Structures are given as structure tokens and as C-alpha cells.
Amino acid sequence: MDDVLLGDLAAEHRVLDDLMAPLPSDLWAKPSPSPGWTLAHQIHHLDVSEGAALLALTGHSDQVFGLTGRWPDRPLPNDPTELLDNWRHSRAASLEAMATLDAKTTVIWGDGPMTCRSFATARLMETWAHGLDCFTTVGLEPVDTDRLRHVAHIGYRALPYAFRSQSVTPPAPLSELRLELTSPSGQTWSYGDDLAPQSITGSASHWCRVATRRMPAEDSDLMANGPLAQAVLTIARAYLADGAST
């Protein structure tokens, strides 16, 4: 498996863990940006999803979605320490499982099979996106890093799914779109054909937030050139839309 990717995933875990560990217990009950979810629900969701991820990584995807199409759940602990420990154990187990697999190993998940590399990228995206919710809840700004390249990439790669899941027909082939993003460190990240006639330009930080539905496109610095580019900013979704969504 890709050691750099797994290292970046572990780093995202640590960032969120470092935020949550010192918080007083009463703050865990504070409402988060997700309707009906407290700060505790955010970490509980990550814990449960890592448990589901471990099942998928070990060949038991049939136990993940089952007949309901939703992850197996378990009660939300009242004790934040227990909740945080649960997440630490579940994420360590799924990371360990990913480390034993080849990057191209097929993992059955949600909308269809994906490689282990793509699956690890999706886990990083989910951790980062829920981390944003947690930072917002406690009134702090996260520090964006170039680890966002993983989130930016999956946001671009998921565009066919985003259109399909929302029953929207792209106004032009997706091959006509190019993304040109500025990374947190000032690098340029490009996705798509350099000669594509339509484009989205702006910061990778804002693209990642739009693609994970943490920022409305109209509030971002992203500029869309062409009807396809404008449609993409409306439908971009880097995660599943069912019970396994982020």
C-alpha cells in the first residue's frame, strides 16, 4: 500500500484527535454544523465508519450495507473519553488492514468496487471533512495543508458519480473540464486536459470544501468558465449520498 497516503491519513487522524482530546466533556454536546448532530456525533460517525471500513477491507462488505444499505451502528457512548478511545481503536485497525493490502486490491464499498488506494483516499476525505465540522463547532480555524491533494483529487474523480447520484445530465462531456487549483503551499494542481475548453480555477482549499459540501460554491473563490464548469460547482459531491455518506 502507498506509505505516503497512509501517512497522510494518519496525520489527519492526529489533527482531529489533537483538537478533541483536551475538550471539556460538556462541549461534546454542542451542536455541530450537521443538523441533529453534536460534536460527539461527529466522532461517533467516524468511529462507526472506520468499523465498517474494516469489514470492507477484510472481505466482509456484505456485512456493511446489508439489506438496509446503511452501516451497522452502535449506541453513542455518554463518556467522551470512551468515544475517543473507540475511534482510536477503530481507525488503527482499519489503517493496519490497509497497510497489508496492495494499492490495487479491490474493496467493495457503496456505489461499487474501488482500489484500496482510492478507499484510503476516501477515508482521508471523510476524516478531513468531519474535522472541518468539529473545528467549526469549537470556533477554531483548521490549518490547511497539501494533504488536501487527496481530497481535491477524489472530488474531481467523483464527478461522474455526483452527476449520476443527483440524476443530473452534464451539459457537456466531463472530458471538457479542467480544474486548476492553488494548493495551500502555493503549488498548482491541475486535473483534466490542459486544452479542455471549460475550467474551474481557484484555491484547492475552497474546491475541497465545495466538493465535501462544507462551503456553498457562491461563497468560495472558485471561478467557473462554461456551463459544465458551472454545473460542476452545483453538483460536486466527493462522498456517497446514502447511509454511508459523510
- Tell me which residues of the chain have a pLDDT lower than 50: 67, 242-246
- Residue 245 domain flag: no
Same domain (yes/no): 108, 173: no
What CATH number did the domain enclosing 66 receive?
1.20.120.450
**By three-state DSSP, how is residue 237 classified?**
coil
What burial letters (b/e) apply to 212-242, b meaning 16+ CB within 10 Å?
bebbebeebebebebebbebbbebbbbbbee
Same domain (yes/no): 121, 42: yes
- Residue 56 domain flag: yes
pLDDT of res. 65: 62
Same domain (yes/no): 100, 164: no
- Residue 113 domain flag: yes
- The Cα–Cα gap between 130 and 152 comes to 16
pLDDT of res. 61: 79
Among the candidates 143, 159, 190, a domain finishes at 143
pLDDT of res. 63: 73
One-letter amino acid for residue 79 of the chain: D
Same domain (yes/no): 132, 163: no
Same domain (yes/no): 108, 125: yes
- Residue 240 domain flag: no
Same domain (yes/no): 7, 121: yes
pLDDT of res. 244: 37
Same domain (yes/no): 108, 157: no
> H/E element holding 148?
helix 148-157
- Say if CB 156 and CB 41 are below 8 A apart: no
**By three-state DSSP, how is residue 43 classified?**
helix
Same domain (yes/no): 207, 111: no
Domain coverage including residue 17: 3-143
How many independent structural domains does the chain possess?
Answer: 2
